[in-house]
């Protein structure tokens, strides 16, 4: 089988700038497809100097002639989708080339309510989810009772399935939350009814977009395809710092499952990392900086969650964690984003090279089950780094090359080196090295 699928994956805790890079690369492809995640993602791209945040629709939607696919592995909120459609149109885009996998599972208002309740029950131990219903909808998918977008083909079936599932959720909400009153029940029923009504309204627009994913990708086996990951490898449901993770797998294998293609179709794997690290939600960010360093990165990088608006924790680039992500994802290319945030700031630039644990042992290996035991971090310092300005092939400060070379050396066991640098939010602020 022809290898014609490249996969783009974040190698940190999400927010690596995937939207911008997909927007930039999408012109080289015939098809761009999302394969996991859902409205928890926030991919920012710039249109006429204005940021546009996409949650479920692929970041290629504004690229003329490219088919954008929401693959079966995605979980979709139809209400959020309607809002995104409006954003795309308002920003001069078109939905003409958008396709949606029939197997996409739908997020109902009661999934979001359950997400909120589960979080509140956890108290101090909450995961810090985006409250978009991600955990509960994946539970239903795995339990084989989820509602699929294909069910919208039959109005009766759709109506019955949503009511059945939402009544099940209401029972659960009542059982787990003694404050969930009769008026809450009625409110939830009303919101479910509104969701169904909205879905019926969107039906004529959505049905022609539906595809059988595996058939579509087989028929397009000679086309150039980019699979766009969401979140980041360190939030993988199995290989991240469980339970402070999302509910999907974030790897090239997940692209195969989410799009219905065999692994033999995968060609390149484009890994993305920021020049530093950020994280939202609960869990350990080993290199987190609380003082001026964290605040500087936060401010210069505008580090607020694109979906929830929460402040992101910021810290130095963590090479053991990046190496761990490379182990899972196997990138063949590495893109470093937001170099302009680190370079030209007043802070001393460093990268983490090893962890010292509370028992005094030292390790250069990130293990999600041991991160709570980290006591101190060993860093390699680069001192203050110069402002980058407008980079091109002939104008690259030697400090930038040294920074990238150091990263590449540390990742040499994984056969990957930094070969693209993004140094600003605009699509053309990228150089290849």
Q: Which are the catalytic amino acids?
A: 15, 43
Region binding ligand IMP by CB under 6 A among candidate stretches 7-15, 199-207, 362-370, 379-387: 7-15
- Chain-centroid distance, C-alpha 164: 30
Helix 109-122, helix 182-206: angle, nearest 10: 130
Tell me whether residue 14 or residue 93 sits nearer to ligand IMP (CB atom). Answer: 14
Tell me whether residue 277 or residue 404 sits nearer to ligand IMP (CB atom). Answer: 277
Tell me whether residue 24 or residue 138 sits nearer to ligand IMP (CB atom). Answer: 138
Query: With binding defined as CB under 6 A, does residue 280 bind ligand IMP?
Result: yes
> Residue 205 in 3-state DSSP?
helix
Cβ neighbours for 391, distance < 8 A, ≥ 6 positions apart = 400, 421, 423, 429, 431
DSSP label of 95 = S
Cβ contact 71:99 at 8 Å: no
Query: With binding defined as CB under 6 A, does residue 289 bind ligand IMP?
Result: no
Q: How far is the CB of 242 from ligand IMP (least distance, A)?
A: 11
Q: How far is the CB of 2 from ligand IMP (least distance, A)?
A: 31
Cβ contact 244:282 at 8 Å: yes
Cβ neighbours for 210, distance < 8 A, ≥ 6 positions apart = 99, 100, 101, 102, 149, 150, 153
* Residue 287: how many other CB atoms lie within 10 Å: 26
On the 0-12 / 13-18 / 19+ scale of CB atoms within 10 A, 264 is exposed
Q: How far is the CB of 240 from ligand IMP (least distance, A)?
A: 8
Q: Which residues from 239-278 bind ligand IMP, rule CB under 6 A?
A: 244, 246-247
Query: With binding defined as CB under 6 A, does residue 36 bind ligand IMP?
Result: no
Q: Which residue is nearest to ligand IMP (CB)?
A: 281
Query: With binding defined as CB under 6 A, does residue 231 bind ligand IMP?
Result: yes
Query: With binding defined as CB under 6 A, does residue 281 bind ligand IMP?
Result: yes
Distance CA 260, CA 406 (A): 38
Query: With binding defined as CB under 6 A, does residue 15 bind ligand IMP?
Result: yes
Distance CA 193, CA 236 (A): 33
Number of residues this chain uses to bind ligand IMP (CB under 6 A) = 22
Among 147, 230, 325, 347, binds ligand IMP (CB under 6 A): 230
Tell me whether residue 40 or residue 410 sits nearer to ligand IMP (CB atom). Answer: 40
Region binding ligand IMP by CB under 6 A among candidate stretches 10-18, 65-73, 179-187, 343-351: 10-18
Query: With binding defined as CB under 6 A, does residue 129 bind ligand IMP?
Result: yes
Q: How far is the CB of 285 from ligand IMP (least distance, A)?
A: 11
Intra-chain end-to-end CA distance of the chain, in Å: 31
Tell me whether residue 12 or residue 289 sits nearer to ligand IMP (CB atom). Answer: 12
Query: With binding defined as CB under 6 A, does residue 235 bind ligand IMP?
Result: yes
Query: With binding defined as CB under 6 A, does residue 128 bind ligand IMP?
Result: yes
Tokens for 90, please give them.
Answer: 């308002």
Cβ contact 419:384 at 8 Å: no
Tokens for 38, please give them.
Answer: 């859902």
Query: With binding defined as CB under 6 A, does residue 132 bind ligand IMP?
Result: yes
Query: With binding defined as CB under 6 A, does residue 14 bind ligand IMP?
Result: yes
Name which of 365, 269, 375 is nearest 322 in CA terms. 365
On the 0-12 / 13-18 / 19+ scale of CB atoms within 10 A, 11 is buried
Cβ contact 311:301 at 8 Å: no
- Chain-centroid distance, C-alpha 66: 21
Q: How far is the CB of 247 from ligand IMP (least distance, A)?
A: 6
Distance CA 43, CA 23 (A): 10
Tell me whether residue 294 or residue 343 sits nearer to ligand IMP (CB atom). Answer: 294
Tell me whether residue 134 or residue 170 sits nearer to ligand IMP (CB atom). Answer: 134
Q: Which residues from 342-361 bind ligand IMP, rule CB under 6 A?
A: none
Query: With binding defined as CB under 6 A, does residue 319 bind ligand IMP?
Result: no
Among 52, 107, 134, 418, binds ligand IMP (CB under 6 A): 134
Place of tokens 């899972």: 328
Tell me whether residue 70 or residue 404 sits nearer to ligand IMP (CB atom). Answer: 70
Q: How far is the CB of 15 from ligand IMP (least distance, A)?
A: 5
Query: With binding defined as CB under 6 A, does residue 410 bind ligand IMP?
Result: no
Q: Which residues from 39-68 bind ligand IMP, rule CB under 6 A?
A: 40-42
Tokens for 104, please give them.
Answer: 């996409």
| Cα within 13 Å of Cα(124), Cβ side | 0
φ, ψ for residue 153, nearest 5 deg? -65, -35
Q: Return residues touching ligand IMP (CB under 6 A).
A: 13-15, 40-42, 127-130, 132, 134-135, 230-231, 235, 244, 246-247, 280-282
């Amino acid at each position: 089988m022809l290898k014609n699928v490249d996969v783009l994956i974040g190698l940190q805790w999400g927010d690596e700038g995937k939207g911008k890079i997909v927007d930039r690369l999408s012109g080289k492809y015939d098809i761009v497809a999302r394969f996991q995640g859902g409205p928890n993602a926030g991919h920012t791209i710039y249109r006429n100097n204005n940021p546009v945040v996409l949650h479920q629709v692929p970041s290629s939607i504004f690229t003329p002639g490219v088919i954008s696919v929401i693959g079966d592995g995605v979980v979709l909120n139809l209400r959020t989708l309607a809002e995104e459609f409006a954003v795309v149109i308002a920003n001069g885009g078109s939905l003409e080339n958008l396709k949606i996998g029939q197997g996409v599972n739908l997020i109902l208002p009661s999934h979001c309510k359950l997400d909120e309740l589960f979080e509140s029950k956890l108290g101090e131990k909450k995961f810090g989810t985006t409250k978009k219903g991600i955990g509960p909808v994946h539970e239903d998918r795995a339990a084989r009772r989820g509602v699929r977008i294909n069910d919208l083909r039959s109005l009766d079936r759709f109506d019955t399935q949503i009511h059945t599932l939402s009544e099940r959720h209401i029972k659960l909400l009542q059982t787990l939350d003694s404050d969930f009153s009769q008026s809450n029940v009625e409110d939830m029923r009303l919101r479910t009814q509104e969701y169904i009504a909205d879905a019926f309204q969107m039906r004529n627009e959505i049905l022609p977009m539906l595809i059988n994913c595996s058939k579509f990708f087989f028929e397009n086996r000679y086309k150039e395809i980019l699979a766009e990951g969401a979140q980041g490898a360190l939030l993988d449901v199995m290989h991240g710092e469980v339970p402070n993770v999302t509910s999907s797998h974030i790897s090239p294998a997940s692209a195969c499952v989410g799009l219905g293609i065999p692994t033999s179709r995968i060609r390149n794997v484009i890994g993305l990392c920021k020049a530093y690290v950020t994280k939202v939600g609960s869990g350990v960010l080993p290199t987190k900086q609380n003082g001026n360093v964290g605040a500087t990165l936060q401010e210069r990088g505008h580090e607020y969650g694109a979906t929830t608006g929460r402040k992101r924790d910021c810290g130095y680039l963590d090479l053991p964690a990046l190496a761990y992500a490379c182990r899972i994802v196997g990138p063949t290319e590495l893109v470093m984003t937001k170099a302009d945030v680190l370079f030209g700031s007043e802070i001393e630039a460093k990268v983490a090279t090893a962890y010292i644990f509370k028992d005094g042992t030292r390790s250069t290996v990130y293990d999600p089950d041991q991160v709570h035991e980290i006591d101190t971090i060993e860093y390699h310092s680069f001192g203050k780094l110069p402002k980058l300005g407008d980079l091109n092939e002939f104008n690259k400060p030697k400090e930038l090359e040294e920074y990238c070379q150091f990263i590449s050396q540390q990742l040499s066991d994984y056969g990957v080196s930094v070969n693209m640098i993004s140094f600003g939010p605009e699509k053309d602020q990228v150089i290849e090295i």
